Chain A
Amino acid sequence: MRFTIFQESRRGSRKVNQDRIAYTYGRDTLLLVICDGMGGHAGGEIAAQICARLFIERFQQEAKPVLRNPLKFLQDTMQRAHAALGSYANQFSMLETPRTTCVAVVVQAGHAYWAHVGDSRFYLFRQGGLIAQTKDHSKVQYLVDQGLIGAHEVVTHPDRNKIFSCLGGLVEPIVDLSKRTPLRNGDVMVLCTDGLWSVMPQNEMATWLTSTPILKTAPQMMREAEKRGGPEGDNLSTIVVRWGADLATEQASTATVTESLGLGEFETAIEKTVTLTDRAGANRDLTDDEIERAIQEIQSTIQKYRR
C-alpha cells in the first residue's frame, strides 16, 4: 500500500480537547479513527480515549495479517466500545456514562469501508468532487431529511449539537456501515469532527485537499478553520489520507509505503493531549469480560485438579 497521511487535532478555544484521533496500519491494511467525546467533566475525553484505543487494539489483534471482514470488524468494535463505556461508568459509579461519537475507516485490498456513530464525518473526494460521505445522526440532519430546514441551516441551527446516536448513550448506538468502496489513486479520504466541518464546507475542503500536496495544505486548512471558529471555537480534528502511488503533486519522500513492514507488524499513531486512562503506559486495561473469563478459567482449573 502507498498513501500519504496527515492528522491533527486542535483544541480550538476550549479548555480541554475531547477529540481523539488515531491510525494504525500493517503491510496490507489501514485503520483510521476519530472520536469526539461529549459531556461535562472529563467524561468526554475518557470516552473518546477508550474508544480510539479499543479500535487500535482490536485492529491489531484481528488483522492477522488482514481483517477477515472489515465491516463486521467496524460494527463489532463500535458495539464493544459502547459496552466498554458502560462498564467504565459502572466501575466509577458515574451518574452518566461517558459518551463519544466515532467514525472509523478500514482500507484493505484497494477498498475502503467505513462506519460512524454521531456527527463525526467521513468524506471521500475524487478528482476534486465529493463521491461519498456519512450522514450525521443528528437532529438537524433529521430536520433536513424531512425537508423542514435547508442544508445551509445545519451549521447555525440552535439544536445543531444534538445527536441521537452515540457510543456510551442510554440506548444502543445506531451504527451506519458503508458499502465496500473501491479506491482509485489520488482519492482523498477525510475524517473530521464537527469542529472542522461546521466551519469548513466540503467544497472548500475539496479545494484545499485535492489539488495540492496535502501535507502542505491540510495544516493550512486546519489553521484557517480554527481561526473561523473564533472565541467560541470547538475542538477540531482531522485525518486526511491521499491514496495511492502519487502523481507529481505529492513528493515521493512524504508518502508512506507499507511494503517494508513485516507480516503482522503495525505502525501506529495516536494523538493524545491529556490522558486520564493512560497512566500505565502500554499496559492495557483489563475489561470486565476479561476479569470474568480469568476467574472462570481459574475455577475450572481448580475443579480439574481437585482430588
Chain B
Amino acid sequence: MAVTNQSLPANYQLLNYRIDRQISRGGFSIVYRAYDETGAPVAIKEYLPSSLVLRTEGDIVRASSAENLTSFRYGMKCFFEEGRALAKINHPNVVRVLNFFRANETVYMVMRYERGRTLQQQIQMRQDQMSERFVRHVFMHLLNGLREVHTHKLLHLDIKPANIYLRTDGTPVLLDFGAARQTLTNTRAKLAPMYTPGFAAPEQYRDPDRLGPWTDVYGAGASMFACLAAFAPQAADARVQEDHLVSAKKIWAGQYSDNILEVIDWCLRLDPLERPQSVFALQKAIRDIPTKKRKLSFLGNVKKLLFTEIGA
C-alpha cells in the first residue's frame, strides 16, 4: 500500500498550539514543530502508526480496518508508557514533556523544543575523526540523564545516536522513550519488543527477563563505538551466533586513550553480568582518565616552566 498518512497542515490549530511544520516521521508517529499561545516553540509528537491508521485528508485519525482498531489502541499503550516515563523526569539531559492530550481520535505529546541536531547527523556530517574530548563531553552529560532515568526505575532500551540530540551549545538530550519500560511494574503482558540492530543488547532479543541498567549500558557503549567508527557495531543477535566484532582497543589503538577504548569494549560484552552494572559504574570508569591527566600535567609542567622563566 503506497498510501501515506497526511501530516497536519501548517497553521493547523491543535488545542492551544499552532502547527508550523513536520520535523520528522517514523513508523509510529509524526513530530511537528508548533507554537504555543505565547509564541514559544514546542515539539509535538502525534501517535500515528502508519500500518494501522489512515488519514488521507482532514485531521481525524481512523483505524484502516476493524481489526486494526484493536492494534491501534494497543499501540497507544506504548505511547502512554512513553508519556508516563517522561512526565516524571525533569533533567537537563532528558527531553521534557510539557503536555499530553487527546484529539483527532489519537493522542499527542508536547515536548520542549530543542535546537540542534542528532548525534546520528553529527556522525554522518563529520569530516574527520571525532575527538575524544567531544565524545567524553557528550557521554558524560548523557549518562547523567540516563542515570536520572534509571533512578526512576525506568529503562530507555533504545539508546542510539539517532535518539541523542545535541543542542547548539553541545549539551546532549536523550530523546524518544518509545521503548521505555517501567521495570518494576512489568507484570502485565509485555509490549511488543522494539530494538535497533547494532545498538540493542543481546538480552533484548532473547531474554527480556534479564533487562536491566546494563542493557542501556550496552546501547551507550555501542553509540560511543559508532562515534568512533561512523557505523554501528555488529548486531548482538548475530554476535551471539558468531562474534565478528573487533574490539575498540584493537581498532583505534593509539588514536584514542586506552581508557575510553576499554570502556567501550566493557560496555559491549555479550554477557550482561560482565558489563558495567550501573550507569554510575560506567561514569566512574570514564572519569578515570589517565591520558588526560598526563596531558594536563604536561601542560602544567609547561606552564610551570613558563611561569618560572617569566618569574625568574
Query: Is the C-beta of A171 less than 8 angstroms from some C-beta in chain B?
Result: no
List CB contacts (< 8 Å) of B97-113 with chain A. Answer: 97-102, 105, 107
Minimum CB–CB distance from B141 to chain A (whole Å) comes to 19
Query: Is the C-beta of A69 less than 8 angstroms from some C-beta in chain B?
Result: no
Interface window among B85-93, B156-164, B302-310? B85-93
A305 CA to B107 CA in the complex, in Å?
Answer: 21
Encode A275-293 as 1/0 by CB contact (under 8 A) with B.
0111110111110000110
**A285/B80 in contact, CB under 8 A:** no
A279 CA to B67 CA in the complex, in Å?
Answer: 6
| Size of interface on A: residues with Cβ below 8 Å to B | 27
Residues of A within 8 A of B74 (CB): 280, 283-286
List CB contacts (< 8 Å) of B44-95 with chain A. Answer: 62-63, 66-71, 73-74, 76-77, 80, 83-84, 87-90
**A301/B77 in contact, CB under 8 A:** no
Query: Is the C-beta of A104 less than 8 angstroms from some C-beta in chain B?
Result: no
A278 CA to B84 CA in the complex, in Å?
Answer: 27
Minimum CB–CB distance from A273 to chain B (whole Å) comes to 16
Query: Is the C-beta of B125 less than 8 angstroms from some C-beta in chain A?
Result: no
Residues of B within 8 A of A294 (CB): 77, 80, 83-84
A276 CA to B89 CA in the complex, in Å?
Answer: 39
Minimum CB–CB distance from B79 to chain A (whole Å) comes to 9
Residues of B within 8 A of A306 (CB): 90
**A291/B69 in contact, CB under 8 A:** no
**B71/A280 in contact, CB under 8 A:** yes
28 A–B pairs (Cβ distance < 8 Å), ordered by A: A42-B66, A91-B63, A91-B69, A93-B62, A276-B67, A277-B70, A279-B67, A280-B70, A280-B71, A282-B189, A283-B70, A284-B189, A286-B76, A292-B102, A294-B77, A295-B100, A295-B101, A297-B84, A298-B97, A298-B100, A299-B87, A299-B100, A301-B87, A302-B87, A302-B98, A302-B99, A302-B100, A305-B88
Binding site for A on B (CB under 8 A): 62-63, 66-71, 73-74, 76-77, 80, 83-84, 87-90, 97-102, 105, 107, 189
